[in-house]
Structure 1
Amino acid sequence: MTQTETIRAAAGYLAQFVEAQALHQRVPGVQVAIRSGDELVLDLAVGVADAVTGTPLRTDHLFRIASHSKTFAGTSVMQLVEAGKIRLDDPIGQYVPELVEGGSPIAAATIRELLGHQSGVIRDGVHADFWQLEYPFPDRATLIADIVADGRIYARNEHFHYSNVGYSLLGLAIEAVSGQTFDEYTRTHIVEPLGLTRTGAEYDPARADEYAAGHTALLFGTNERDVIEHVDTRVMAAATGFYSTASELTEYGAAHWFGDTRLLSDDSKRLMQRLESVVSAYGEEVGRYGVGMEVRKVGDRPMIGHSGGYPGHITRTYIDPKDKLVVSVLTNAVDGPADQIATALVKLIDAALAPRPGHTPAAHPDGLPPLESYTGRFANLWGLLDLTVLGGRVVALRPSLADPLGAFEELEVVGPDTLRIHPQTGFGGSGELVRLERAADGSIASVRFGGMTSWPVEEFLRRRPSMLHVATSKVSV
């Protein structure tokens, strides 16, 4: 099967996995979209848009996607480079003359250095409590005054130093070159050419009812979340202002695939996606960055994209520009596990596309029930167990784990009610049989995996009280 066909076949389970993650992480809502080739293979909303009102989350609810905005700014700059209106080695002071007038060393930073977070400019400013709504986001005059007073942290190209202030300056450069506001430029040169109707550069109060609410974290394990007001990010829109939906972000992500010329030439995409910085902290690599894009590997799959953190929303989009895959996950809480879920989905997709190393699937034995009859979600005192079909193989995994491959097992069907775990060295039950007990209608009533029995979730919950004390009866064989 093709990549798209394989993901389409796995989409039902991928949705179940997201639902389990959302419940386990206690995040109010999760919006997910997966695009492969020309097809939106999954478009899903789980949970609520507002934890106070209980409004169900929809796939068309708008999310603040925060630092995804940097990819729109980077795309805008590269369009202007292609048009001959700006050069990557131009100093930012050429477009923001107040920096020169104020004598700021940041005036000499180039467009490319700002795109790659190598300009040395401060991250958010000395006074950045606008991130927790203590006061409004800065306007142009406030931003530039702060840069002139306290903006330089490092010399140019001394260190990678992620900077929302730097991208705010890029937004001003885009406006100076194009003669349009950042919102107008991105709308006419990115949003409208892609046919997007639920994406924009800044909070739109006219659409207030369409936004998913942002929520506070479950601090110290508390159960209550408060709703955080949406605000205008003003001069920082190019760094953090955008809103969108998961499905529209996959359409935007597809425009960064090689061969898609709707926004940029492949030459410009290669430059944006080229590794500029390996980011290390205290001797350990913590990330990689290109020119307006994060550069990452998920498993063995090279990807680009961006995360986003806005008061109340945490988001992540991964793009494979060669194999034409986009995964976007949007969450509406400060502690939302967007990156965790997006990473897990990419890993599950790759697990569907190819067996785990060392495993060679056997043909399904003749005369046995179809693979789907060996699947389901089960539970015991130690948590959830999923048996599912990925890529034409029965596999086992724990859907509440952050890494779905952490307890992932390839299974072989060896009988109508029996599977075998792939034999190999390990700390689990490798090589052991998995025994199914079926109900009269053929459904699975219980699974004995690693010697322990799991039941369908409702049945386990019925049985759980009896597991809180030692049983005196003998184990039946």
Structure 2
Amino acid sequence: MSTTADHPVAPEAAPTPAVPGSDDLATRTETIRSAAGYLAQWVSTQAAHLRVPGVQVAVRSGGELVLDLAVGVADVTTGEPLRTDHLFRIASHSKTFTGTAVMQLLEAGRLRLDDPLAQHVPELADAEVGAATVRELLGHQAGVVRDGVHADFWQLEYAFPDRERLLAVAREEGAVLGRNEHFKYSNIGYGLLGLVVEAASGQPYADYVHEHVVAPLGLTRTGAELDPSRADEYAAGHTGLLPGETQRLTVEHVDTRALAAATGFYSTAAELSAYGDAHCFGDDRLISDGSKRLMQRLESVVTHDGTEQGRYGVGMEVRTIGARDLVGHSGGYPGHITRTYVDPKDRLVVTVLTNAVDGPAEQIAVGLLGLIDTALAPSTVPPRPADAPPLDAFAGRFAALWGLQDLVVLGDRLVLVRPTLPDPRASLEELEVLDGLRLRLPARTSFGPTGEVVHLERGPDKAVTSVRIGGMTAWPVEEFLARRPAMTRVGDPRVGP
């Protein structure tokens, strides 16, 4: 670390080579599995740093669950530790289940994507929204109101709409924009798609998705709506923290009724990642690859004031992160924020569930993808000398007055990471091993100590006892904490090291 204008500057991030598909699936999975310990440590650090009550994470590669993690608490009022089997409300992830159900019914010849809504929901035959097609509703291109003129059910002021209320909103408030005029996200639209699924299948929505989407995958902790019989299995939701606040309130779980197809589902990170894996190519348990391509096809690019806000397909969000073309969805439910990313070609799934309105699910998921791709990327530095210690002999967490820094082995690379930054790649550097006591930062354009030697000290047991980067020393956390008081006051005058 160096300083500019009297402020510390982290080393500039090294470019990460494109990595998806760079090795065979078994090799990629083995590499990610080997990195899982640090992925868990990084998530735990993020959760503690951001003061989120609890985080549940799953990483799945090639169908294998390589990380299944829970950190923090399920309920701040009781202090109950969060477990990997706690249930979370996954909110708008529900839309992907609805999209999958629609594709199944399409494949079965029970509906067509260009069917008008009123064909399946005749109560809307005389309503403007009744002309919207199934595909337009799936892609949020039907111009339908988002939640209705009165939507404080999202703040538990009153119950979520039942079927009668949903149809009334659709008739009286539903048409806001012209069809295909703009991308317009709509929970009401997906509630109406739930009615389409019911009409085309002849089953209640929850029964259909359980029988045809949940059960075929062997999922036992996933369902379309709040299950009161499992009340003690849910992680509590929590309010966000306004500026200056330190206390959170718990938020009661409620039935989303006719909006279950838009936002009612519950699951765990592990099971949601298993569902995401079924959307990878070559897996025909739910829908064909042709239907997957349709769901994952880019339909809309969402911009605001010239800045891209997101992309959407047909029932799934679409995004490129690094070299990966990803699909998936986010979810926002009172007290829970969630995110899943799926690389359907490389069979990689990352799911992050948080139990607070301000939960950093997106940030953690993107960070995990960055660390995974760092592990998969080939080394960019010369091989270590034959007489140097193995890479893991350099690994550890070190602290200085300016914060934490990790030396960690990811794949076949020794890298430097600042674990409290929102994007781990923002400070990531691959280190060249010179010998057992010296490493070197890459030589390139940077505000940091580019090209400089990193000096280490080791104890009698050969463990690293200090790391000096850019001339500034960091120690294992416990030793740093013992030293820190002396760093906050001017003592006796000292000259030189």
Tell me the TM-score normalized by structure 2. Answer: 0.93
Q: Describe the superposition over 1:326-357 as per-residue Cα deviations: whole angstroms up to 9, x where unpaired.
A: 000000000000010001101111111114xx
Partner of 1:456: 476
Partner of 1:433: 453
Partner of 2:422: 402
Partner of 1:384: 404
Partner of 1:329: 352
Q: Distance in 2 between matches of 1:360 and 1:142?
A: 60
Which of 2, 5, 20 does residue 45 from structure 2 map onto? 20
Matched, 1:63 2:83: no
Partner of 1:115: 138
C-alpha displacement at 1:475, in angstroms?
5.1
Stretch deviating more after TM superposition (250-259 or 72-81)? 250-259
SS of the residue 2:259 aligns to: helix
Which of 85, 99, 118 does residue 74 from structure 1 map onto? 99
Matched, 1:268 2:291: yes
SS of the residue 1:459 aligns to: helix
How many pairs does the alignment contain? 472
| Unaligned 5+ runs, structure 1 | none
Pairwise mapping of residues 89-168 of structure 1 onto structure 2 (< 5 A)?
89-100=114-125, 103-168=126-191
Q: Distance in 2 between matches of 1:272 and 1:466?
A: 59
| Unaligned 5+ runs, structure 2 | 1-22
Q: Distance in 2 between matches of 1:400 and 1:232?
A: 36
Partner of 1:375: 395
Matched, 1:310 2:333: yes
Q: Distance in 2 between matches of 1:292 and 1:476?
A: 63
Q: Distance in 1 between matches of 2:496 and 2:463?
A: 22
Contact 2:63–2:274 (8 Å) recurs in 1: no
SS of the residue 2:178 aligns to: coil
Which of 33, 39, 42 does residue 8 from structure 1 map onto? 33
Q: Describe the superposition over 1:180-227 as per-residue Cα deviations: whole angstroms up to 9, x where unpaired.
A: 111100000011000000000000010011111000011113110111
SS of the residue 1:193 aligns to: helix
C-alpha displacement at 1:303, in angstroms?
0.3
Q: Distance in 1 between matches of 2:242 and 2:322?
A: 31
Which of 84, 89, 96 does residue 109 from structure 2 map onto? 84
Which of 279, 290, 299 does residue 256 from structure 1 map onto? 279
Stretch deviating more after TM superposition (422-431 or 438-447)? 438-447
Partner of 2:246: 223
Which of 432, 449, 464 does residue 412 from structure 1 map onto? 432
Pairwise mapping of residues 177-326 of structure 1 onto structure 2 (< 5 A)?
177-326=200-349
C-alpha displacement at 1:96, in angstroms?
1.4
Q: Distance in 2 between matches of 1:364 and 1:248?
A: 41
Cα 1:475–1:348 change in 2 (3 A) is: farther
C-alpha displacement at 1:18, in angstroms?
0.3
C-alpha displacement at 1:135, in angstroms?
0.4
Contact 2:239–2:250 (8 Å) recurs in 1: yes
Partner of 1:36: 61
C-alpha displacement at 1:104, in angstroms?
2.0
Structure 1 counterpart of 2:37, which letter?
G
Q: Distance in 1 between matches of 2:163 and 2:471?
A: 65
Q: Distance in 2 between matches of 1:385 and 1:145?
A: 56
Structure 2 counterpart of 1:397, which letter?
V
Structure 2 counterpart of 1:189, which letter?
H
Q: Distance in 1 between matches of 2:151 and 2:449?
A: 52
Q: Distance in 2 between matches of 1:153 and 1:310?
A: 24
Stretch deviating more after TM superposition (43-52 or 73-82)? 43-52
Partner of 1:363: 383
SS of the residue 1:220 aligns to: coil
Tell me the TM-score normalized by structure 1. Answer: 0.97
Structure 2 counterpart of 1:94, which letter?
Q
